[in-house]
Amino acid sequence: MPVLHNLVSNEELRARMLAETEPRTTVSFYKYFTLDDPKAFRDALYVALTRLKVFGRVYVAAEGINAQISVPASQYDAMKAMLYTFHPALDNLRMNIALDDDGKSFWVLRLKVRERIVADGITDDSFDASDVGDYLKANEVNAMLDDPEAIFVDMRNHYEYEVGHFENALEIPADTFRDQLPMAVDMLQDNKDKKIVMYCTGGIRCEKASAWMRHNGFENVYHVEGGIIEYARRAREQGLPVRFRGKNFVFDERMGERISEEVIAHCHQCGAVCDNHVNCKNDGCHLLFIQCPTCAEKYQHCCSPLCMEELILTPEEQRARRAGRENGNKVFNKSRGLLNMTLKIPESDR
């Protein structure tokens, strides 16, 4: 029986990926459909993807599949053909090919079974996830952006919205998708007569969000087909104005795809114009935040003087300092401030 999980260290796998000479293609895809045995589906898919030297992050659940992967360019067509025949629901599956791709997005294949492919917190048994809003193609998105009766709703997290979004899009200021769903319903209650346009990175969140809005009495609901990735690709192919401002955050090593040259975010430490997301270099923190090159040098790639101090301690001293302390949210939120987002240090260690 083949091994159905990785046995090699992350360090070695990353080194192997960086040593590859063949270019890779980064692609994302998802599909809502019913799986009776997600575990068996996962195991068979792991074997098939491993044979094609695919890396990435894939989630499988009874409600479908959600994947962000990297595949050798020579294997892309074979991978697509395999997926199209792997399950009837995956026939002609839409592939969102990365826009700004260096081929170094992943170095290991992680394929997990989860309760949901997107954590939504929905417990209402009467909710029908298939009752989605109408798809909008790139030209229709641009037309909607000029429609005074349309409201664009960004169904991504605050740190994604901060570096890029559609013109005049409404931000739902929550840390998680599960929190955004009820918040979006509340924020838009007085606009049920408007056209509600949901969008996200690749389509998976906004498609479910559109169904949730319909479930809560909104009738004129739309969502951007294929999300920001597909919109930007099609708009460029068709010579249309690209109306997305800034960078599209992505959940891999790249941390972002440049959509427009406009930089709309700022360094969280000094306020300089910048949209470069990084993780704090301190292993006990790894906070995700925006840092400019000047602050990266000044703070030694850390989010705060506190983490700079901890970074130079011996491993034993670091473990002693972290023991028993409370972890904070690992993403910067401007409403809470940068220093408040670092891991909490016991009074005795301050």
pLDDT tens per residue across span 14-28:
666 666 778 899 998
Looking at this protein, which amino acid is placed at residue 337? G
Per-residue burial over 107-133, b if 16 or more Cβ lie within 10 Å, else e, is bbbebebeebbbebebeeeeeebeebb
pLDDT tens per residue across span 245-298:
999 987 667 778 899 999 999 999 999 999 999 999 988 888 899 999 999 999
Q: What residues does each domain of the chain span?
A: 10-113, 134-246, 277-349
- Structure confidence at residue 349 (pLDDT): 29
Strand stretches in the chain, DSSP E: 24-32, 55-61, 64-72, 96-97, 109-113, 134-136, 150-154, 164-166, 170-171, 195-199, 221-224, 244-248, 257-258, 277-279, 288-290
Q: Which CATH number fits domain 134-246: 3.30.1490.20, 3.40.50.300, 3.40.250.10, 3.40.50.2300?
A: 3.40.250.10
User: Lowest-confidence range among 4-13, 20-29, 89-98, 173-182?
Assistant: 4-13
Range 10-113: architecture per CATH: 2-Layer Sandwich (3.30)
pLDDT tens per residue across span 191-229:
999 999 999 988 889 999 999 999 999 999 999 999 998
| Residue 146 DSSP class | T
Cα(62)–Cα(116) distance, rounded to whole angstroms?
A: 7
- Structure confidence at residue 1 (pLDDT): 52
pLDDT tens per residue across span 160-199:
999 999 989 999 988 789 999 999 999 999 999 999 999 9
Nearest to 136 by CA among 202, 219, 227, 204: 227
Q: Is this prediction's pTM over 0.85? A: no
- Structure confidence at residue 255 (pLDDT): 74
- Structure confidence at residue 346 (pLDDT): 30
Same CATH topology for 10-113 and 134-246: the answer is: no
- More confident position, 306 or 136: 136
Q: Is 200 tagged catalytic? A: yes
Q: 200, 280, 303, 307: which one is catalytic? A: 200
